[in-house]
Every structure is written in structure tokens, then in C-alpha cells.
Amino acid sequence: MMDIPVWLAIIVGLLSLIGAVLTLLGCLGLARFDSFYERIHAPTLGTSFGSIAVLLASILYFSVSGQRFAAHEIIILIFVSVTTPVTMMLLARAALYRDRAEGNAIVPRSAGDALENAAAGDDIPQPSSPQ
């Protein structure tokens, strides 16, 4: 570990702690919430400000201690913030599709549900459609 000024050590330490606590809370929420649709909210804690805090700590540490320009963290940050919504949406749609195919009551079925499915076309395949 390099020798760095005390104020920087405090900031870096605090940021990494904040990030870790947020990620931990997200994962705890994932373990504790009751239904899938509640659980899908929890991991975004870790992927939004959890990872921002940790990566900011890393950027500060490496930039000020002068070892290298913090480029990889920026890439990770862009990547995480772009990919998380995509995975969450895909997972939510998969869950919605499965729950609807099984006829679970917790998922809202609007009045024209059959019409909705037909209108959405290949977005929501019918359960009986041949693969």
C-alpha cells in the first residue's frame, strides 16, 4: 500500500465503506423480501450508488497516489450502469411471463389480457405456441 495523505485515506475508506454497506443492504433485501417483484428492487442498491462509491474510492486512491490514471473504473461504472437495467427488465419480463402462464393471482391481468398478448406479438409468446 502506498503512503498517502491522511485526508485521502479517510475519504477513500469512507467511500468504500458506504459502497459496501449499500451493497450489503441490497443483498439483505434480496434475502429478506417476500415476493419476487419486491426482490427485484433490492440489487439495484448495490449496482447504483454502491458501485459508484466503491469505484470513486478507487479512482481517488489511484489518481492522487499518482500510480496511474483511473480509466478502468470509469469503464466498469459505465458498463454496470448500462447493463443493470437491461438484466432487471429481462428478468422481470421472464417472471411476468412465467407467472401469467401459470395463472398466478399476484400478477395483474387487465381486462383485455388476451388482446394485450396478441397485440404484443412475439414479445409475449403464448404458452401453447410450438417452439
Partner 1 sequence: MSSDILHWSLLISQVLLALAMVAAATRMIRGPRAQDRILGLDAFYVAAMLMLVLFGIRIGSSVYFEVALVIGILGFVGTVALAKFLMRGEVIE
Partner 2 sequence: MSKILPYPLLSLFLLVMWLLLQQSVGLGHILLGALIAILAGRAMAALQPERPRIRKIGKIVELIWLVSLDILRSNIAVARLVIAGKRRDTTSGFLVLPLELRDRSALAVLACIITATPGSAWLEYDAARGSVLIHVLDLVDEQAWVDIIKNTYERLLLEIFQ
Q: From partner 2, partner 1, none, which one binds at residue 116 (CB under 5 to 8 Å depending on kind)?
A: partner 2
> Binding marks (x or -) toward partner 1, 28..57, rule CB under 8 A?
x-xx----x--xx-xx--xx--xx--xx-x
Please give the Cα distance from 47 to 26 (Å, whole number): 9
Burial 80-118 (b: 16+ CB within 10 A, else e): beeebeeeeeeeeeebbbebbeeeeeeeeeeeeeeeebe
Q: From partner 2, partner 1, none, which one binds at residue 38 (CB under 5 to 8 Å depending on kind)?
A: partner 2
Task: Say whether residue 116 binds partner 2 (CB under 8 A).
Answer: yes
CA 73 vs. chain centroid, Å, equals: 17
CB of 9 to partner 2, least distance (A): 24
Q: Is residue 2 within 8 Å of 65, Cβ to Cβ?
A: yes
Task: Say whether residue 98 binds partner 2 (CB under 8 A).
Answer: no
Q: Name which of 9 and 74 has its Cβ closer to partner 2.
A: 74
CB of 15 to partner 1, least distance (A): 9
> What contacts 24+ positions apart, CB below 8 Å, involve 85-92?
88/40, 88/43, 88/44, 91/40, 92/37, 92/40
Among 81, 85, 93, 115, binds partner 1 (CB under 8 A): 93
Q: From partner 1, partner 2, none, which one binds at residue 34 (CB under 5 to 8 Å depending on kind)?
A: partner 2
